[in-house]
Amino acid sequence: MIDLADRPDVSPELRLVPHAFREAYGRSAEGVWYAPGVVSVLPGLSVCGRWGAIVAGERRDDGIIELASINKPAEPVVLPSDDVPSWAKPVVQVAERLQPGGATLLCSVDLPAGSGLSSQTALACAAALALRDLCHPSMPLGHLVDVLAQSQPQSRVEAAFAGYEVGVDIAGARLLIVDTRVRRDTPVRLTDYSIRQHGSVEQLGQDLTDFHRAQQTETEQDIAVAAALKAGALGATMLVDDPGRPVVALATPDRVAAVRAYVSGAFRRETLTAPRYLTIRPSPGARRVTG
């Protein structure tokens, strides 16, 4: 079988991690696993984006779990350990619950924590799939989801495995993620809000805006939402992706560029750090890529 790292038909981001694994350990990975980031646009309504987490790994027979990250090359982990860096905590939580016999995993996350796509949940899902396939291949997927839900928001875990859109149809519109670059240590506490049945993408947009106005938000989120609406977005709201304070705007494809320009202009006028953007199209769920 051709190593995934050598397949030109595979996207560069999927080739990178098995290539790095081979460079680091002198052999090909036994498998490669992927999980998407999840945008929780409203409670119970989620969309998966192609940015997420990728894990390359192999079994080992000494009972040791060895973890490394392309994003944090100076922070490898050998379990058990009392000193776990923050990047590895989602993987360690999964390993503690699955109790695998031993494995080496090399991880990569496309986006920083808090940028709007639940990157830590994506990493937990990709690592859990890898450990399940390597060490407990007969474990039902439903049980794996239950295990993950002990340390991650269950709705995001379920959405990551379901893929595409869960509980919502954005009908060809686009989701524009605005990473306001704001990070806070205090978790967000949402105000109760009744979600309506969405008969149209326009109604969904209105619900996003109404949801935002019902919450206690950061100034930067309010600025982004107001600018997005002024630019013609169908709706916009704050997102919950601790420690970040991002925003998501729903827009028709022809308005995405205008929304970005208006939000950037609003941040510039307020002398705020320039935001970062991602345009989301619904993407497949967590899976084993090869091996």
Bridge partners, 42 (sequence order): 45
Tell me: domain 4-164+282-290, CATH 3.10.20.30, correct? no
pLDDT 10s digits, 213-233? 999 999 999 999 999 999 999
Domain with CATH 3.30.230.10 in the chain: 4-164+282-290
Report how far apart, in Å, the C-alpha atoms of 102 and of each of 80, 92, 122, 126, 181 are: 11, 13, 21, 16, 37
- Find the DSSP H helices in the chain: 12-25, 89-98, 119-135, 141-149, 154-162, 201-214, 219-230, 256-269
Beta-strand pair 31-42/45-59: antiparallel
Domain with CATH 3.30.70.890 in the chain: 168-280
CA-based max dimension of the chain: 59
pTM for this prediction: 0.92
Tell me what pLDDT residue 263 has. 98
Q: Which residues of the chain have pLDDT under 70?
A: 1-2, 4-6, 8-10, 12, 197-198, 291
Tell me what pLDDT residue 100 has. 85
Superfamily of domain 168-280: GHMP kinase, C-terminal domain (3.30.70.890)
Cα–Cα distance, 249 to 232 (Å, whole number): 10
b/e string for 145-155 if b means 16 or more Cβ within 10 A?
bebbeebbeeb
Tell me what pLDDT residue 8 has. 66
Tell me what pLDDT residue 290 has. 80
